[in-house]
Amino acid sequence: MIVSWCFICAFVVLINKVCLQVPVEGFIGGSVVLPCSSDERDLKLQDINVLWRDKGSETVYDIISGKDSVERQNPQYKNRAETFPEEYERRNFSIKLINLTRTDEGEFSCFIIHSSDSKEEIVRLFINDSTVVPNKESPKQENHEPQTILIVICVCIIILLISVSVVYFIIHRKRTQTQYREAPVVN
């Protein structure tokens, strides 16, 4: 039974790790919002650093102590990466990447760093060759698909655990009743 619990816990951790990657689709020549936010509401904005990096660990955009910083920005992102400063107070550190090219496809990492905590979000950008520009998303919109998948998996695991527990209880009860009936009476 302990082995089952260990397997289930390991499975949930692995699923959670995989689900942290957010898929986003962009179009050549278009623009796309790469989401990144924090649930921590008690953090002071001036104590937060947000570092956006691409697949090659190049600097896409930095937000240092709540202020934009492009000093170390890789030239390929100059005038192509924008943030939403009005959203920082809501802990939304999403960026907009404009004039997309095929070379933009890949993983982008958003590191939210605070003295007491840090978080990494990974966004997987897929580039489509279509010239049709998708409907524009506001920075407030978030992709909840990974959370939904995780919730469904957790509910399935809970149902499985309850089912296994019920079956175990029934088998254990039948064994106990059988042993009780077969036990010799001592006088």
pLDDT digit string, tens, across residues 149-187: 767 675 758 887 787 888 887 887 888 777 766 666 665
Q: What domains sit in the chain, N to C, each tagged with a CATH number? A: 22-143 (2.60.40.10)
pLDDT digit string, tens, across residues 94-110: 999 999 999 999 999 99
Alpha carbons within 13 angstroms on the beta-carbon side of residue 138 total: 4
pLDDT digit string, tens, across residues 34-67: 999 988 877 788 899 999 999 999 999 999 999 9
Q: What is the pTM of this model?
A: 0.60
Helix axes 2-19, 145-182, angle to 10 degrees: 170
CA dist 60 and 82 (Å) reads 10
